[in-house]
């Protein structure tokens, strides 16, 4: 029992130490990206300002189409009742 516990503790310490071997620089240099550009800061800011002015704040696909009906409510209800009576449309839970 004592040897098993010792073996498991050594294996745990070895596994824990192996994670430290994969560490990189302390300054996170693997994420640094170098850019070489010939544009000035003013040009970039001017472009960003024009994009912000011309961009729509409405999310894509959220436009609601409005429809102004000229039909009378009573006439529409009468037409629907007639369609149910003649069997053109179903009502309730009948298929």
- pLDDT tens digits, one per residue of 76-92: 999 999 999 998 888 77
- Whole-model pTM: value is 0.29
- 34-47, pLDDT tens digit by residue? 777 788 889 988 88
Band of residue 10 on the pLDDT scale cut at 50, 70, 90: confident
Classify the C-alpha dihedral 71-72-73-75 as positive or negative.
negative
């Amino acid at each position: 029992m004592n040897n098993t516990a010792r073996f498991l503790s050594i294996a745990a310490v070895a596994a824990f130490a192996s994670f430290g071997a994969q560490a990189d620089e302390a300054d996170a240099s693997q994420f640094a990206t170098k850019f070489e550009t010939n544009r000035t800061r003013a040009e970039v800011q001017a472009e960003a300002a024009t994009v912000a002015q011309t961009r729509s704040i409405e999310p894509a696909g959220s436009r609601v189409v409005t429809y102004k009906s000229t039909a009378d409510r009573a006439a529409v209800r009468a037409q629907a009742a007639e369609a149910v009576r003649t069997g053109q449309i179903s009502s309730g839970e009948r298929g």
